[in-house]
Amino acid sequence: MTEAQLDEIEAAVGYNLPTEYRRVAASPPFRPIGHDWVYWFYDDPAWVIEGTLAPLGDGGYDQSGWQAGYLTIGQSGAGDLYVMDTTADGLPVHCLCHETHAIEPEWPTFATFVADWIRAPGEIAQRMAIEDADARRRMRLGWIILAVSLGVPLAARWVLWVLR
């Protein structure tokens, strides 16, 4: 986001954004997972503003538990909002569940949130590569079993026909 977009967020939410958030939002260190967009960290000021001023606006959330100084910074793949507490030391990041509307601590600091999401794409890609290799191995084994289960009876019939 640009400085002007970050200023727009500040004006809309009514408080100053933490310096660390501004730094990361201005130059996000994140990369997509596969072909997926980076949904866990919003790069659009409208999403930050809407999520902060009307969290889960389309889900019947009555904003119970919502605190002044909460800033919506992203969302999980399941649609839960990532909410940073701009008033607490370390800027902890919570998760606002879209189903239960509970606000639960997720990362003790914003720095931990950033570090986890920098590391996540590599870990997920590695796990996906292992799962793909396992799937290919199971597929080869399936073809071998199929070939043997079809081949042995056919070979036995052929041998019996030749021996007649």
The pLDDT of residue 109 is 97
pLDDT for residue 119: 76
Q: Which residues of the chain have pLDDT under 50?
A: none
Domains of the chain: 3-122 (3.40.1580.10)
Mapping DSSP onto H, E and C, the string for 32-87 reads CCCCCCCCCCCCCHHHHHHHHHCCCCCCCCCCCCCCCCEEEEEECCCCCEEEEECC
- pTM of this prediction? 0.70
Give the pLDDT confidence score for residue 76 in this predicted structure.
Answer: 85
> What is the predicted pLDDT for the residue at 39?
65
